[in-house]
Structure 1
Amino acid sequence: MKKLLLLLTLCSITAQAQNIQGLLNKATKIISTGSTSLSSDDIANGLKEALTTGAEKGCSNLAKPDGFFKNAALKILMPPEAAKVESTLRSVGLNQFADDFILSMNRAAEDASATAAPIFVNAIKQMTISDGINILRGDETAATTYLRSKTSTELKSSFNPIIKNSLEKVKATKYWEKAITAYNAIPFSNKKINPDLSAYVTEKAMEGIYSEIAKQEKEIRVNPLARTSDLLKRVFQK
């Protein structure tokens, strides 16, 4: 009888210990995620949804007419090293040429932005649970930083031919190369200017895309109204 009681007592202690360990494991998970109802899968799926929402909205915003051109923060201007070229054009009464040239660069960036979303979505699908947790614990643009690291090479390859074609349609490339080649030929010019206009516009277009996605990410993180699903609300709750 005593042996039976001892055995039952040991079983009870073991069961309680297992329950306590289970509670500790759950508590550790809660602390690590900052939520009482989120699993690792929830975090990963929530981050994927947030990234997809931000990328698609950001690309859509910039692909609209004047998405770049009338955005003071993202408008593509002459390269800084070409300021003298622009100044010379305007000084001889070619203001319209300079204005049209700047507009053509922005239109090319808008054209390219319309093709960017699938590249981002494909990269987002590859995000792991570990990536999601690190992003959630990161700063206000951690997701955008992650996306930049995964898409910049492919985005550049995709953008460049689109932008080059768009610039050539309005003969911007032709005028640019002529103007810059002439400028570079001037004796004693301190700095040669790269005549590869499509490379410059591609770089500025990519900067604009990532900037817009970062803007959307910040909005989701800080503004409850920007969280358009229950999962987003749970993942980003304060």
Structure 2
Amino acid sequence: MKNNAKDSSVANGVAALGNLVKGNGSGTGLSKDDIIDGLKQALEVGANKSVTQLSSLDGYFKNNAIKILMPPEAQKVENTLRNMGLGNEVDNAILTMNRAAEDAAKSAAPIFVNAIKGMTIQDGMQLLKGGDSAATHYLREKTTASLTTSFKPIVEQSLVKVDATKYWNSVFSTYNKVPFVKKINPDLTGYVTEKALDGLFYQVAQEEQKIRKDPVARTTDLLKKVFAQ
């Protein structure tokens, strides 16, 4: 459900801008460059606002839309440990995963912004004229690999700093001692990196929706010019 909401949010904003492209020359007074630059600036503004929110205390942990929980394959682990009276260890593991994401968000976001700045006019026009999933496809295809490569060591350092690895190891070491259970050893850094980036993309999409719908959120002259149409 979260991915659908994220995809729809970005795609709907792009569809609106796509309509501007199709109507260009019919009294909008906007060039294609204006529209592309407006899209890029909206994403940059959204990313900056997202950084402020997500890098603050409880930015991830108290946001139910992006809170990092145990991975699906570990749900049985979580239930078993809670039933054994070890709920506090599980809660600490979940809390520290979110603290790591919050800690890393500020450092990682500029990489995301730089990727947006690297969007060419050709890329932007293809994105704007694409289907409902064009924006999500572009962002994932063009930025996820480089973001992951750069973000992962930051997350790893953050996990160590907030003792997440200790809690994670404690949780799974305890679980793996239970007789006759399948041993589990998920990649904590990879998992938190993926979920933290998902949260960042989700939040940027929410900010884009505000810019598209709410004039108060259009904080620059270019955004006012493009999105007022």
Aligned mates of 2:101, 2:46 — CA distance in 1: 18
**Greater radius of gyration (CA):** 1
Q: Does 1:211 align with 2:213?
A: no
1:186, distance to aligned residue in structure 2 (A): 6.1
> What's the TM-score, normalizing by structure 2?
0.78
Aligned mates of 1:96, 1:196 — CA distance in 2: 21
Number of equivalent positions: 209
Cα–Cα, structure 1 residues 58 and 35, in superposed 2: closer, same or farther, change >3 Å? Answer: farther
Aligned mates of 1:105, 1:132 — CA distance in 2: 35
* 1:173/1:197 contact within 8 Å kept: yes
Tell me what 2:10 maps to: none
1:199, distance to aligned residue in structure 2 (A): 1.0
Which gives a bigger RCO, structure 1 or 2 (Cα 8 Å, sep 6+)? 2
Tell me what 1:221 maps to: 212
> What's the TM-score, normalizing by structure 1?
0.75
1:96, distance to aligned residue in structure 2 (A): 1.9
* 2:93/2:171 contact within 8 Å kept: no
Tell me what 1:193 maps to: 184
Q: Does 1:151 align with 2:143?
A: yes
User: Which of 85, 90, 101 lines up with 1:93 in the alignment?
Assistant: 85
AA partner of residue 157 (structure 1)? T
Q: Does 1:233 align with 2:224?
A: yes
1:113, distance to aligned residue in structure 2 (A): 0.8
**Superposition map of 1:79-158 within 5 A:** 79-137=71-129, 143=135, 145-158=137-150
Q: Which runs of 5+ in 1 are unaligned?
A: 1-28
Cα–Cα, structure 1 residues 71 and 225, in superposed 2: closer, same or farther, change >3 Å? Answer: same
Aligned mates of 2:140, 2:83 — CA distance in 1: 40
Cα–Cα, structure 1 residues 50 and 174, in superposed 2: closer, same or farther, change >3 Å? Answer: same
Aligned mates of 2:200, 2:213 — CA distance in 1: 20
Task: Look up the SS of the partner of 1:93 in the other structure.
Answer: coil
Q: Which runs of 5+ in 2 are unaligned?
A: 1-20
Cα–Cα, structure 1 residues 143 and 60, in superposed 2: closer, same or farther, change >3 Å? Answer: farther
Task: Look up the SS of the partner of 1:114 in the other structure.
Answer: helix
1:16-62 deviation digits (Å, cap 9, x = unpaired): xxxxxxxxxxxxx8834665311122122212211110111112211
